[in-house]
Structure 1
Amino acid sequence: MTEHFALDETTIADVHAAYRAGTLTARALVRAYLDRIATVDAPDADGPGLNSVLAVNTAALDDADALDERLRTTGELSGPLHGIPVVLKDQIETAGLTTTYGSRTAEHNVPDRDATIVGKLREAGAIILAKTTMPDFATSWHSTSTVSGLTRNPYALDRDAGGSSSGTAAAVAANLATVGIGEDTGGSIRLPASFCNLVGLRVTPGLISRDGMSPLVEPQDTPGPMTRTVTDAAILLDVLAGYDPADPYTATAAIARNRTGSTDARNRTGYTDALDPDALSGARIGVLRQAFGSADDPEAEAVNSVIGAALDRIVAGGAELVDVEVPDLDHYVAYTSVYFSRSRADMDAFLATRPGIKATSVAQVYADGLAHPNLDLFAGIATGPARPADDPDYHQRLEARERFQRDIIGVMAAHRLDALCFPDVRIAAPTHADVLASRWTCLEFPTNTVIASQLWMPSITVPAGFTEDGLPVGLELMALPYHEADMLALAYGVERATGSRRTPDMG
Structure 2
Amino acid sequence: MAAERVGQDRSMSELHYLTAAELARLIRARQVSAVEVLQAHLDRVERVNPRVNAIVTLAAEQAMDAAKAADAEEPRGPLHGVPVAHKDLLDTAGIRTTYGSPLFSGNIPEKDDLIVQRLTEAGAINVGKTNTPEFGTGSHTVNEVFGVTRNPYDLSKSAGGSSGGAAAALACGMVPLASGSDMGGSLRNPASFCNVVGLRPTPGRVPSPSETAAWYTLSVQGPMARTVEDVTLMMSVISGFDPRSPYSIKEVFAAEPEEGVAGLRVAWSPDLGGLPVDAATAAVTATAPGVFERLGAHVEQVELDLSDAEDAFRTYRAWFYALSYGELTGLGANTAWNVEQGRQVTGADLARAERARSRLYQRMAAFFDRYDVLIAPVSQVPPFPAEDPYVREINGVPLPDYLTWMRSAYWISVLHAPAASVPAGFTRSGLPVGVQIVGRPFADARVLRVARAFERATGFAGRRPPL
After TM superposition, the score normalised by the length of structure 2 is 0.91
Give the superposition deviation at 1:216: 11
- Of 281, 285, 302, 1:303 maps to 281
Aligned partner letter, 2:63: A
Aligned partner letter, 1:70: E
Is 1:418 matched with 2:372? yes
- The CA distance in 2 between the partners of 1:426 and 1:89, in whole Å, is 24
1:472 is matched with which residue?
Answer: 432
Give the superposition deviation at 1:472: 0.6
Give the superposition deviation at 1:344: 2.7
Is 1:60 matched with 2:63? yes
Stretch moving more, 439-448 or 98-107: 439-448
1:351 is matched with which residue?
Answer: none
Residues 82-481 of structure 1 aligned to structure 2 (within 5 Å) = 82-211=80-209, 218-250=216-248, 253-254=249-250, 256-257=251-252, 270-271=254-255, 274=256, 276-278=258-260, 280-291=261-272, 300-327=278-305, 329-339=306-316, 341-348=318-325, 361-362=327-328, 364-366=329-331, 371=332, 373=333, 375=334, 378-386=335-343, 390=346, 392-413=348-369, 416-435=370-389, 441-481=401-441
1:264 is matched with which residue?
Answer: none
SS at match of 1:247: coil
Give the superposition deviation at 1:331: 4.6
Q: Is the 8 A contact 1:137 1:216 kept in 2?
A: no
1:497 is matched with which residue?
Answer: 457
Unaligned runs of 5+ in 1: 43-48, 72-76, 261-269, 349-359
After TM superposition, the score normalised by the length of structure 1 is 0.84
SS at match of 1:383: helix
Aligned partner letter, 2:330: V
SS at match of 2:461: coil
2:33 is matched with which residue?
Answer: 25
Aligned partner letter, 1:9: Y
Q: Is the 8 A contact 1:210 1:221 kept in 2?
A: no
Query: Percent identical across equivalent pairs?
Result: 33
> For 1:178-229, what per-residue CA distance to the aligned partner results, in whole angstroms no more than 9, with x for missing partners?
1111100111000101101111001111111213799799321111010111
- The CA distance in 1 between the partners of 2:38 and 2:168, in whole Å, is 18
Unaligned runs of 5+ in 2: 1-6, 394-398
Is 1:482 matched with 2:463? no
- The CA distance in 2 between the partners of 1:100 and 1:433, in whole Å, is 22
> For 1:442-461, what per-residue CA distance to the aligned partner results, in whole angstroms no more than 9, with x for missing partners?
23214411122111111111
> For 1:59-106, what per-residue CA distance to the aligned partner results, in whole angstroms no more than 9, with x for missing partners?
1001000110114xxxxx221110010011011100000001110100
Distance 1:462 1:213, change over 3 A: farther
SS at match of 1:429: coil
Q: Is the 8 A contact 2:380 2:405 kept in 1?
A: no
Give the superposition deviation at 1:335: 4.5
Distance 1:59 1:283, change over 3 A: same
- The CA distance in 1 between the partners of 2:210 and 2:348, in whole Å, is 31
> For 1:229-285, what per-residue CA distance to the aligned partner results, in whole angstroms no more than 9, with x for missing partners?
1111111111011122332231xx11x43xx5xxxxxxxxx23xx25432x111111
Distance 1:187 1:436, change over 3 A: closer
Stretch moving more, 78-87 or 1-10: 1-10
1:69 is matched with which residue?
Answer: 72
- The CA distance in 1 between the partners of 2:88 and 2:336, in whole Å, is 21
Give the superposition deviation at 1:148: 1.4
- The CA distance in 1 between the partners of 2:81 and 2:184, in whole Å, is 32
Moved over 4 A (4+): 212-217, 436-440
Distance 1:287 1:471, change over 3 A: same
- The CA distance in 1 between the partners of 2:200 and 2:19, in whole Å, is 20
Stretch moving more, 464-473 or 285-294: 285-294
